[in-house]
Amino acid sequence: MAQGKIIGYDINSKVCQISVFDEENGEPETVEIGRDNYQIPMAVNYYKGEWTYGKNAIRMDSVKDSTLVEDIFEKALKHEKVTVGDEEYDSVWILAEFMQQTLRNFEEIDQIVFTVPSMNEDIRYLLKGMGQKLGISKEKIYVQDYKESFCHYMFNQPKELWQYEAALFYCDRNVIRAYMLRELKTGTKTSGKECFVTVEEVADAEMEELEQVYPALSIEKGRAADEHFRRFIQNVFNKKSISSVFLTGDGFENNWYPNSLRVLCNGRRAFMGNNLYSKGACYTALDKAENIMDGLVYLDDSKLTDQISIKMRVSGEEVLYPLVTWGAHWYESDKEWEVLMENNEDIELYIDSLSTGKRRTETISLKGLPERSNYALRLRISTMFLNDKMCKITFEDVGFGEFFSPTGFSVEKVIELGGSNGQFNSLS
């Protein structure tokens, strides 16, 4: 078991919540902010030289001369300046202060995974930077979206909950979105251990009836919304085998959907709660902290669908060792290794594409290297992505201790990736 704290940190425009891996129970536990409440409002308050956060910050808003700052995540993404009293603060600094307070009870963080409703480079850059501002080394920080967190949460549940497709319904005000977790069928020969999965939005519905469900339930509007949702479910579930259903989002807090719930629970299990994203992120953090390769490969149109491997002897057995792995983000795939060569023979790279189901090879010539006895040639292998489709792989002689000095030999190979025009949809 990894030492330190393993944390999943769910953050969005409204609230954040934190799940921590409990070694004793062997599963994530969500940090309670109050009785049966895990959500921390994304707000800070400044009063007489002190910052408060979350619900306390909102309560302090009634105090004279206090300054409430809300929407701090969105402000930080826009790099807004915030005026507090006579001072002007960088919103990124305010977000860092907020996060520091939410994590102040954790003296050591071994791995943290931030999860957000949707991902882009700005969000990733901001949250990776936040983690580093908090003193967490960058290799211990990862960012993923809600769909990937849902996937990791599900694959840590009993098999019967994801034996077939698993459905996720998200309700926010007057919009309901439906997602499906399903296994992808690829034409590529793999080790047989990999399970390729994705989570796709399959339908959405704008329901005017839900406008009257907040904050107090209107019986008449509730019935209309229930009927609308029931029809929506039946359309989503049409001729599909669904193992389980999960309801998330503030819109499900009022009990306006009794008839729809009967449809959801017909032959399957249904769950409700808003902490599965932080728990899913926590499971991801555990896997990364312990370098667990459980065969689960989550794919979407932001992930690599090609894999670059090299023949390597590991624990005496010759295997295809991946230098670039499918299911990874290209911008997090720059790595470095040092290997001992059995001989001076040319190196072959194997590029497997999930999109085309084909393998191609690229040869790296070691011509120019001096002859050495077996296992006396040490090479540094490094991967560096030039963009989302171009990966440069470098092989460099780094010498062999006192016996052989580095020769200055270096060879590069740029590998073009992308499978069938780089389209993830070809797998769907």
Same-domain pairing of 273 and 313: no
Distances 344 to 276, 376, 379 between C-alpha atoms, Å: 51, 10, 11
Structure tokens at 282: 């926590």
Beta strands in 63-159 (DSSP E): 67-70, 81-84, 87-90, 109-116, 141-145
Instruction: Concatenate the DSSP letters of all residues of 190-245 into one string.
Output: --S--EEEEEEEEEEEE-GGGGGTSSS--HHHHHHHHHHHHHHHHHHHTT--EEEE
118 domain residue, yes or no: yes
Cis peptide before 258 (omega within 30 of 0): no
Do residues 313 and 224 share a domain? no
Q: Residue 194: inside a domain, yes or no?
A: yes
Among 123, 142, 161, the domain boundary falls at: 142
Amino acid letter for position 62: S
Where residue 162 sits, what CATH number does that domain have? 3.30.420.60
Q: What is the pTM of this model?
A: 0.88
Which domain covers residue 135, as residue numbers? 5-142
Q: Which of 154, 158, 214, 159 is nearest to 179 (CA)?
A: 154
Please tell me whether residues 120 and 160 are part of one structural domain.
no
Q: How confident is the model at residue 420, as a pLDDT?
A: 47
Is 285 part of any domain?
Answer: no
Looking at the structure, do residues 131 and 161 belong to the same domain, yes or no? no
What 8-state DSSP symbol labels residue 404?
A: B
**Is 298 a member of any domain?**
no
The answer to whether residue 284 is domain-embedded is no
Same domain, 49 and 106: yes
Q: Which residues of the chain have pLDDT under 70?
A: 1-4, 34-36, 187-192, 211-218, 293-294, 419-428
We report the CATH number of the domain holding residue 337 as: 2.60.34.10
Residue 211 CB neighbour total at 10 angstroms: 12
Domains in the chain, number = 3
* Paired tokens of 396: 């460099």
Asked if 161 and 138 sit in the same domain, the reply is no
Q: Which of 142, 170, 188 is the last residue of a domain?
A: 142
pLDDT score, position 425: 56
CATH of residue 126 = 3.30.420.40
Please tell me whether residues 220 and 109 are part of one structural domain.
no
Claim to verify: residue 266 and residue 219 sit in the same structural domain: yes
Are 74 and 94 found together in one domain?
yes
Say if CB 397 and CB 338 are below 8 A apart.
no
In DSSP terms, 322 is beta-bridged to: 309
Q: Is residue 97 part of a domain?
A: yes
Q: Are residues 130 and 187 in the same domain?
A: no
pLDDT digits (tens, 9 = 90+) for 53-67: 999 999 999 898 899
CA distance 283 to 277: 10
Residue 282 lies in a domain: no
| Other beta carbons less than 10 A from residue 247's beta carbon | 22
Q: Decide: helix, strand or coil at residue 300.
A: coil
161, 130: one domain: no
Same domain membership, residue 159 and residue 138 = no
Beta-strand relationship, 269-272 and 242-248: parallel
Beta carbons within 8 Å of 260's beta carbon, 6+ residues apart: 226, 229, 230, 233
**What are phi and psi for residue 47, nearest 5 degrees?**
-150, 120
Residue 413 in domain:
yes
